[in-house]
């Protein structure tokens, strides 16, 4: 190893040009532990790794024990629920993430979930594909207006706020939001109201979750909360699956209390083959596509690479989530 070069373990595929930025300065091993044939290479590289970059893999304290030289973990995601934050801090390992660059794309996805569930887009497209469009559709296939409906947003971070702008300014929707603190947004003055959770659930026609997964939000939407939603309301989730008790959601749908749900995230991903959410007639499931566009995934990879290189050079990364102790 040349002087100054460090060992970097890339645990999810990176665009070629971003990989080249790292390889110009450091020694790189690419091994995706989610691919069984690459797991051994990942394990073998851990003891020497000073930088880790990737996403969608749970990093445990036990894994950190096997990476004693680690200085930085650079996640290609905004969510950090896959990382043991306290253990990283105890060991003085920096954690970086990718806020900002995926906000608008993920808000587009959440709004697509709202449109899909309300206007039954996937169901009606399948109606055409499966050869059942042989006469004008009847009331049994009509949807529900989105414009003018009251939208309740759970979580009012960057993504929740971007959903609120789409709803309030584009679709004339009164917005309620549940968040630890009120957020002053001049462009939404008088259009978005900070309310307690129970009030939001009781008043919203459509509830959209954009929550991170934390100890406070895990299982937040349970039987009590779904029962408090308006009869015939819609639930969508573009945050983290484990903020929802999925059995309670299914129960609310099966009881006819909720109209429909559209979900981009699940407690277990990929969604198990036997999950009833895969085939429920009033659930539209998506494979966690929140930020999955060419432009945004590239921007995330570039920011994560910059974070990694800055940390390995001893500078403060642009998007530091948790400073090392």
What residues line the site for ligand DGY (CB under 6 A)? 77-79, 102, 290-291
- Smaller CB separation from ligand DGY, 7 or 305: 305
Rounded to an integer, what distance in angstroms lies between the CA atom of residue 28 and that of residue 301? 16
Clarify whether 257 is annotated catalytic: no
At its nearest, how many Å lie between ligand DGY and the CB of residue 79? 3
- SS3 label, residue 62: helix
- For residue 85 the two structure tokens come to 């934050």
- Evaluated on CA atoms 210, 216, 220, 225, the torsion sign reads negative
Rounded to an integer, what distance in angstroms lies between the CA atom of residue 175 and that of residue 35? 42
Query: Which residues, including other chains, have CB under 8 Å from residue 72's CB and lie 6 or more apart?
Result: 50, 51, 52, 93, 94, 95, 96, 307, 308, 311, 312, 317
- For residue 218 the two structure tokens come to 């895990």
At its nearest, how many Å lie between ligand DGY and the CB of residue 124? 27
Query: Which residues, including other chains, have CB under 8 Å from residue 203's CB and lie 6 or more apart?
Result: 150, 152, 176, 195, 230
- Smaller CB separation from ligand DGY, 110 or 233: 110
**Given 230, 240, 297, 302, the catalytic residue:** 240
- Smaller CB separation from ligand DGY, 78 or 309: 78
At its nearest, how many Å lie between ligand DGY and the CB of residue 78? 4
**Given 199, 203, 269, 280, the catalytic residue:** 269
Residue number of the CB atom closest to ligand DGY = 79
End-to-end CA distance of the chain: 28
Rounded to an integer, what distance in angstroms lies between the CA atom of residue 262 and that of residue 297? 22
**Given 120, 178, 288, 302, the catalytic residue:** 288
Clarify whether 240 is annotated catalytic: yes
Clarify whether 288 is annotated catalytic: yes
- Smaller CB separation from ligand DGY, 15 or 143: 15
At its nearest, how many Å lie between ligand DGY and the CB of residue 205? 26
- Smaller CB separation from ligand DGY, 81 or 199: 81
Check if the beta carbon of residue 58 is closer than 8 Å to that of residue 85.
Answer: no
- SS3 label, residue 45: helix
Active-site amino acid positions: 240, 269, 288
């Amino acid at each position: 190893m040349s002087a100054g070069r460090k060992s970097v373990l890339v645990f999810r595929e990176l665009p070629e040009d971003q990989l080249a930025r790292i390889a110009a300065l450091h020694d790189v091993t690419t091994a995706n532990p989610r691919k069984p044939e690459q797991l051994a290479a990942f394990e073998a590289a851990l003891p020497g790794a000073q930088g880790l970059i990737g996403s969608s893999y749970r990093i445990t304290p036990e894994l950190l024990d096997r990476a004693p030289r680690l200085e930085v973990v650079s996640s290609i995601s905004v969510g950090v629920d896959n990382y043991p934050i306290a253990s990283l801090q105890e060991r003085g390992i920096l954690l970086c993430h990718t806020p900002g660059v995926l906000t608008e794309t993920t808000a587009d996805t959440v709004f697509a979930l709202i449109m899909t569930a309300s206007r039954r887009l996937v169901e009606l497209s399948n109606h055409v594909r499966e050869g059942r469009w042989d006469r004008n559709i009847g009331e049994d296939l009509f949807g529900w207006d989105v414009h003018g409906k009251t939208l309740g947003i759970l979580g009012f971070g960057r993504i929740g706020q971007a959903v609120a702008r789409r709803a309030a300014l584009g679709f004339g929707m009164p917005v309620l939001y549940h968040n630890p603190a009120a957020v002053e947004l001049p462009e939404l003055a008088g259009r978005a109201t900070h309310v307690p959770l129970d009030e939001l659930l009781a008043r919203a026609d459509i509830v959209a979750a954009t929550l991170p997964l934390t100890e406070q939000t895990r299982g937040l939407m349970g039987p009590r909360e779904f029962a408090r939603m308006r009869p015939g309301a819609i639930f969508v989730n573009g945050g983290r699956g484990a903020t929802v008790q999925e059995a309670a959601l299914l129960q609310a749908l099966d009881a006819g209390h909720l109209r429909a749900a559209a979900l981009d995230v699940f407690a277990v991903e990929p969604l198990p083959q036997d999950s009833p959410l895969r085939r429920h007639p009033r659930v539209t499931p998506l494979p966690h596509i929140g930020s999955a566009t060419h432009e945004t995934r590239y921007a995330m990879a570039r920011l994560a690479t910059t974070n990694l290189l800055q940390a390995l050079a001893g500078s403060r990364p642009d998007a530091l989530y948790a400073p090392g102790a």
